[in-house]
Chain A
């Protein structure tokens, strides 16, 4: 680096970290001393001498500020500086109040005088002659009488004693009963969930098997037949799905077969493959047959009339 630039840099650095103004390595004792002094001044100003300092002739605030002026020269860190400003703010507050008080003494309104007159008006002076203690006499002052006078100077409304309770109260009680009833109703209407016993679960399984058997018997009687003609119930999409569901068991077991060589899915009964057939390389396949309401509707149009015959037995079952 150019020696001249270097000199300028260190000068700049010196200016920024001027130890006269800010010293991060100020000795601990110095700081402790400053804090102690400031705290003493603040406490003195704040608590002990607050009332005394407010007297116009009091020099207390000025004295404390002078002392703070001496101390600030030694302050090198932020914490001590904040204590200094706290003292300043406090002193400003006190002087503000002092200024307010001074106005009083120059013929402006005097609250103390006003309070004294209130005591007279409320009969505090007369009471003092009869009662034993001063405190007791003050308690006997007639606030109600002052209140009656005050009533003329404020736009307060007298309480309407002829009112028999607010409207809101009636309504609230009505609300309470209504919620009560609602609760009762709800508990009565609540129905117990149907409990399934082992028997019923068993029976449902039997139901499926029974339906599969019924379909096998039916197919044997009517087949071979068009698949859709066989399963479609033109009155119920749901039952059509059920029919297909039960039929799928027969297909899986190889007891029925779908042959679409003719272009139509023809459904017929057949003998299930034997274990020999499997050994000869027969593999199982799966396929998904989609049956949605649009398909069902097309099926109804094409096969609805014809399928009526076959589906009736199943419909009657449900």
Chain B
């Protein structure tokens, strides 16, 4: 590896970490502009070498975000959406994802600092969406969150319901889909998993989290009922 290439790999590692600190996705054009400069054609090479460093030193990797689902009519079933979603093009936008094995993550060694409260909140919101066939009307979401003490009023850890949800949308955990009714009167708002959620969340782990919340009292077939609630129809659980 030449000296210059080495330098560019280091720059890209640094840029990726810096972008992730703000939880801002990294665009390919930014990589070209800030790291590669005149060598934009070396993207593949630098990118792959950066991945090696990120994996080995930091236990992370860059993952391309999936394309956003096109604004679709609310109420289209998850199965049908999945079918439409198949044809995808690359977004050329990346986020960092942890590649630490589950055992290490479960040891809870990482100090999440101020992020912890929002992470808990995000996990709750995303799991609620998941068990409601992956779309949740704003009305229902607010209803659940009210029961959890998160309302329009100021909240000691999450500021307020609106602030916390907006933060999730900004980070890319949530997609906020607005559709005006046929007659244009009442506009319905629905929440779905955003692109970052699809990268960071694994459906099996999501189910494990819900089981963990139920603790000792979890019914035996809880995992299966969670899968069914997520709108997945498969032969083994039906």
Residues of chain A whose beta carbon lies under 8 Å from any beta carbon of chain B: 86, 89, 93, 96, 100, 107-109, 111, 114-119, 121-122, 124, 135, 137-141, 143-161, 163, 165-168, 171
Rounded to whole angstroms, the CA-CA distance of A251 and B134 in the bound complex is 96
Most chain B beta-carbon neighbours within 10 Å: one of A107, A124, A154, A160: A154
Name which of B40-48, B64-72, B201-209 contacts chain A.
B201-209
Contact partner of B15 (CB less than 8 A), chosen from A89, A115, A158, A166, is A166
The answer to whether the Cβ of B87 comes within 8 Å of any Cβ in the partner chain is no
B208 touches A153 (CB 8 A): yes
Most chain A beta-carbon neighbours within 10 Å: one of B100, B120, B121, B205: B120
A118 touches B148 (CB 8 A): yes
B18 touches A147 (CB 8 A): no
A150 touches B123 (CB 8 A): yes
Q: A115-B148, A150-B120, A154-B119 are in contact. List 5 more A-B contacts (CB 8 A).
A: A111-B131, A118-B124, A122-B148, A141-B149, A168-B15
- Closest Cβ of chain B to A171, distance in Å, is 6
A143 touches B131 (CB 8 A): no
A-B contact pairs, 21 of them (CB 8 A): A86-B183, A89-B182, A109-B131, A111-B132, A115-B128, A116-B147, A117-B213, A143-B120, A144-B116, A147-B123, A149-B120, A149-B209, A152-B105, A152-B108, A154-B123, A156-B98, A157-B60, A158-B111, A160-B17, A166-B19, A168-B18
In the bound complex, residues from chain B placing their C-beta under 8 Å from that of A137 are 149
Most chain B beta-carbon neighbours within 10 Å: one of A108, A119, A122, A156: A156
- Which B residues, 185 to 238, have Cβ-Cβ distances below 8 Å to chain A? 199-202, 205-206, 208-210, 212-215, 217, 222, 225-226, 228-229
Q: Which 5 A-B pairs have the closest CB atoms?
A: A138-B149, A147-B120, A146-B120, A147-B116, A166-B18
In the bound complex, residues from chain B placing their C-beta under 8 Å from that of A140 are 149, 156
Contact partner of A109 (CB less than 8 A), chosen from B112, B208, B225, is B225
The answer to whether the Cβ of B102 comes within 8 Å of any Cβ in the partner chain is yes
Rounded to whole angstroms, the CA-CA distance of A171 and B182 in the bound complex is 49
Rounded to whole angstroms, the CA-CA distance of A284 and B209 in the bound complex is 108
- Closest Cβ of chain B to A136, distance in Å, is 9
- Closest Cβ of chain B to A155, distance in Å, is 4
Q: Chain B: how many interface residues by the 8 Å CB criterion?
A: 73
A153 touches B123 (CB 8 A): yes
Q: Decide: A151 near B116, CB < 8 A? Known: A109-B226, A157-B96, A166-B19.
A: yes
Rounded to whole angstroms, the CA-CA distance of A242 and B110 in the bound complex is 88
In the bound complex, residues from chain A placing their C-beta under 8 Å from that of B215 are 117, 121
B112 touches A158 (CB 8 A): yes
The answer to whether the Cβ of B11 comes within 8 Å of any Cβ in the partner chain is yes
B149 touches A159 (CB 8 A): no
A141 touches B98 (CB 8 A): no
A168 touches B200 (CB 8 A): no
In the bound complex, residues from chain B placing their C-beta under 8 Å from that of A152 are 102, 105-106, 108
Rounded to whole angstroms, the CA-CA distance of A212 and B82 in the bound complex is 90
In the bound complex, residues from chain A placing their C-beta under 8 Å from that of B206 are 153
Q: Decide: A143 near B121, CB < 8 A? Known: A119-B148, A154-B205, A168-B30.
A: yes
Looking across the interface, which residue of chain A has its beta carbon closest to that of B19?
Answer: A166
A-contact 0/1 string along B9-38, CB 8 Å cutoff: 001001101111111000000100011000
- Closest Cβ of chain B to A142, distance in Å, is 8
- Closest Cβ of chain A to B1, distance in Å, is 20
In the bound complex, residues from chain B placing their C-beta under 8 Å from that of A93 are 75
Looking across the interface, which residue of chain A has its beta carbon closest to that of B146?
Answer: A138
In the bound complex, residues from chain A placing their C-beta under 8 Å from that of B205 are 153-154
- Closest Cβ of chain A to B54, distance in Å, is 10
A147 touches B98 (CB 8 A): no
- Closest Cβ of chain B to A234, distance in Å, is 51
A117 touches B34 (CB 8 A): no
Q: Decide: A108 near B228, CB < 8 A? Known: A147-B112, A150-B209, A157-B60.
A: yes
In the bound complex, residues from chain B placing their C-beta under 8 Å from that of A147 are 112, 115-121, 123
B214 touches A117 (CB 8 A): yes
B20 touches A144 (CB 8 A): no
The answer to whether the Cβ of B142 comes within 8 Å of any Cβ in the partner chain is no
Contact partner of A163 (CB less than 8 A), chosen from B21, B208, B222, is B21
Rounded to whole angstroms, the CA-CA distance of A115 and B125 in the bound complex is 10
In the bound complex, residues from chain A placing their C-beta under 8 Å from that of B111 are 158
Looking across the interface, which residue of chain A has its beta carbon closest to that of B119?
Answer: A147
Rounded to whole angstroms, the CA-CA distance of A159 and B20 in the bound complex is 7
Contact partner of B147 (CB less than 8 A), chosen from A115, A156, A159, is A115
Rounded to whole angstroms, the CA-CA distance of A140 and B18 in the bound complex is 33
The answer to whether the Cβ of B113 comes within 8 Å of any Cβ in the partner chain is yes
B123 touches A146 (CB 8 A): yes
- Closest Cβ of chain B to A4, distance in Å, is 48
Rounded to whole angstroms, the CA-CA distance of A230 and B157 in the bound complex is 99
- Closest Cβ of chain A to B109, distance in Å, is 10
